[in-house]
């Protein structure tokens, strides 16, 4: 079948929207007609070469769509069903899955990072040459063949862009708050980075009953969206967020600090924002090979906890529907997050706007 997709042929070059061949789904796979795909920084890391990936590749890992066809042996899903896509498929059997940590599943990491589906081979091609799938999803395309286990049924009532965001920004940001850190009611929370992931952490912290939710971003104009997402306070990064956090917490620092950018300098700044005995949660993905100075002399004396949170420590089958319910109940005001939508043909424009700090989250709508 011929499909239209945004293809990355070389790093540091624009995406090219072109026609590819897509094979039908094999055993354990489904064909999805993509409805919406979020414009996330992780795809940009691939485009820049900060995340190494076989090329050419179709990116897009935050999506939703309708199932058009089931491959052999697929059960529990049906044609026409609305699904949100999970970019970290889990096997249900390995050491981590057996211990309730599917976001760490060891079984499928290898084939997925080789750019194929779970059997290691791609379904996409251009003039007979393979084109790879990012996260086994490749949803910057009108249609995608994906692992059946990446599909989480989600209600028809959710707007497409909202359903798409469940798969990355919401899972990563809200999951870090609800699952990894389990922020309790009454806590004080600071979030560095008011992009899609950081703003979902803000919303989830407020939903958890945090009393102080301080959003910090280098772009002062992010204040209005941060407040609509639930921030009680906002600090532009150049306006001394350290003084602001102390002012809001009786001079102590925040109980929880979330770093949602993935920048070593910001990760180090978290230690100046957190109170003694508090918790720093590293959510943003830093470039592979980068290093962060987290001094033991400080961590020990102040009894700090530093946690990594990968994909919000989620169990997609449990958490996507739960976050969808949080949206319906207005505990996660995700409409405020979606700054604008684009056509697939405008994908390079969408990334330019994202990098210029003009967007909270943009979504490509098909
Ligand atoms: Zn597993
Ligand atoms: Zn993402």
Distance of CA 244 from the midpoint of ligand 2 (Å): 29
Distance of CA 325 from the midpoint of ligand 2 (Å): 21
Distance of CA 93 from the midpoint of ligand 1 (Å): 5
CA of 61, nearest ligand number: 2
Distance of CA 96 from the midpoint of ligand 1 (Å): 6
Does residue 287 register a pLDDT over 90? no
Distance of CA 315 from the midpoint of ligand 1 (Å): 11
Q: Round to whole Å and give the CA distance between 252 and 167.
A: 35
Q: Which range has the worst mean pLDDT, 130-134, 239-243, 272-276, 309-313?
A: 239-243
User: Is residue 348 within 8 Å of 25, Cβ to Cβ?
Assistant: no
Distance of CA 41 from the midpoint of ligand 2 (Å): 6
Distance of CA 121 from the midpoint of ligand 1 (Å): 19
Q: Hey, where are the domains in the chain?
A: 2-168+313-365, 182-308
- Please list the residues that pair with 146 across neighbouring strands: 30
Does residue 268 register a pLDDT over 90? yes
pTM above 0.85, yes or no: yes
Superfamily of domain 2-168+313-365, CATH level 4: Medium-chain alcohol dehydrogenases, catalytic domain (3.90.180.10)
Q: Round to whole Å and give the CA distance between 188 and 255.
A: 5
pLDDT band for 110, please (50, 70, 90 cuts). Answer: confident
Average pLDDT over residues 293-314: 96
Nearest to 259 by CA among 167, 337, 181: 181
- Interval 50-72: pLDDT, tens: 889 999 999 999 999 999 999 99
Distance of CA 52 from the midpoint of ligand 2 (Å): 15
| Residues 6 or more apart whose Cβ sits within 8 Å of residue 256 | 177, 181, 183, 187, 188, 189, 190, 205, 210, 274, 278, 279, 280, 281
With helix as H, strand as E and coil as C, how does the chain read? CEEEEEEECCCCCCCEEEEEEECCCCCCEEEEEEEEEECCHHHHHHHHCCCCCCCCEECCCCEEEEEEEECCCCCCCCCCCEEEECCCCCCCCCHHHHCCCHHHCCCCHHHHHCCCCCCCCCCEEECCEEEEEHHHCCCCECEEEEEHHHEEECCCCCCHHHHHHHHHHHHHHHHHHHHHCCCCCCCEEEEECCCHHHHHHHHHHHHCCCCEEEEEECCHHHHHHHHHCCCCEEEECCCCHHHHHHHHCCCCCEEEEEECCCCHHHHHHHHHHEEEEEEEEECCCCCCCCCCCCCHHHHHHCCCEEEECCHHHCCHHHHHHHHHHHHHCCCCCHHHCEEEEECHHHHHHHHHHHHCCCCCEEEEEC
CA of 165, nearest ligand number: 2
Look at the block and give the residue holding tokens 């109940």: 329
The confidence score (pLDDT) of residue 239 equals 82
Q: Round to whole Å and give the CA distance between 257 and 353.
A: 27
**Angle (nearest 5°) at CA 342 between 336 and 346:** 145
Superfamily of domain 182-308, CATH level 4: NAD(P)-binding Rossmann-like Domain (3.40.50.720)
The confidence score (pLDDT) of residue 360 equals 85
Distance of CA 250 from the midpoint of ligand 2 (Å): 35
The confidence score (pLDDT) of residue 238 equals 80
The confidence score (pLDDT) of residue 289 equals 86
CA of 310, nearest ligand number: 2
Q: Round to whole Å and give the CA distance between 110 and 192.
A: 31
Q: Hey, how many other C-beta atoms are within 10 angstroms of the C-beta on 167?
A: 34
The confidence score (pLDDT) of residue 62 equals 97
Q: Round to whole Å and give the CA distance between 306 and 304.
A: 6
Does residue 246 register a pLDDT over 90? yes
pLDDT band for 356, please (50, 70, 90 cuts). Answer: confident
CA of 196, nearest ligand number: 2
Distance of CA 211 from the midpoint of ligand 2 (Å): 28
Nearest to 280 by CA among 299, 293, 297, 301: 299
Look at the block and give the residue holding tokens 């064909």: 31
Does residue 147 register a pLDDT over 90? yes
Does residue 76 register a pLDDT over 90? yes
**Angle (nearest 5°) at CA 175 between 348 and 138:** 35
Distance of CA 51 from the midpoint of ligand 1 (Å): 22
Distance of CA 147 from the midpoint of ligand 1 (Å): 14
Distance of CA 37 from the midpoint of ligand 2 (Å): 10
Distance of CA 90 from the midpoint of ligand 1 (Å): 5
Distance of CA 154 from the midpoint of ligand 1 (Å): 23
Answer whether 2-168+313-365 and 182-308 agree in fold: no
């Amino acid at each position: 079948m011929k499909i239209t997709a945004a293809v990355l042929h070389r790093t540091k070059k624009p995406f090219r929207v072109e026609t590819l061949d897509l094979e039908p789904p094999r055993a354990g796979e489904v064909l999805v007609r993509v409805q919406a795909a979020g414009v996330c920084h992780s795809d940009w890391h691939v485009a820049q070469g900060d995340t190494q990936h076989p090329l050419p590749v179709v990116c897009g890992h935050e999506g939703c769509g309708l199932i058009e066809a089931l491959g052999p042996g697929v059960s529990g899903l049906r044609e026409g069903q609305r699904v949100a896509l999970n970019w970290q498929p889990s096997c249900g059997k390995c050491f981590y899955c057996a211990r309730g940590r599917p976001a760490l599943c060891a079984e499928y990491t290898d084939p997925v990072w080789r750019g194929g589906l779970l059997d290691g081979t791609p379904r996409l091609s251009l003039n007979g040459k393979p084109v790879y799938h990012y996260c086994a999803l490749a949803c910057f395309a009108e249609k995608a063949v994906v692992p059946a286990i990446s599909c989480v049924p989600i209600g028809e009532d959710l707007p497409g862009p909202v359903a798409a965001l469940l798969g990355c920004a919401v899972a990563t940001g809200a999951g870090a708050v609800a699952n990894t850190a389990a922020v309790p009611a009454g806590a004080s929370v600071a979030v560095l980075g008011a992009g899609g992931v950081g703003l979902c952490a803000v919303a989830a912290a407020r939903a958890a009953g945090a009393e102080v939710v301080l959003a910090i971003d280098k772009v002062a104009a992010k204040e209005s969206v941060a407040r609509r997402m639930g921030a009680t306070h906002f600090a532009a990064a150049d306006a001394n967020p350290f003084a602001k956090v102390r002012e809001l917490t009786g001079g102590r620092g925040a109980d929880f600090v979330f770093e949602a950018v993935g920048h070593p300098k910001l990760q180090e700044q978290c230690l100046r924002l957190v109170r003694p005995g508090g918790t720093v949660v590293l959510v943003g993905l830093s470039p592979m090979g980068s290093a962060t100075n987290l001094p033991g002399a400080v961590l020990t004396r102040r009894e700090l906890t530093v946690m990594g949170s990968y994909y919000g420590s989620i169990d997609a089958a449990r958490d996507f529907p739960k976050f969808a319910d949080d949206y319906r109940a207005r505990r996660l005001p995700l409409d405020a997050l979606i700054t604008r939508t684009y056509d697939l043909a405008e994908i390079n424009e969408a990334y330019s706007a994202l990098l210029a700090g003009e967007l909270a989250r943009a979504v490509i709508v098909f």
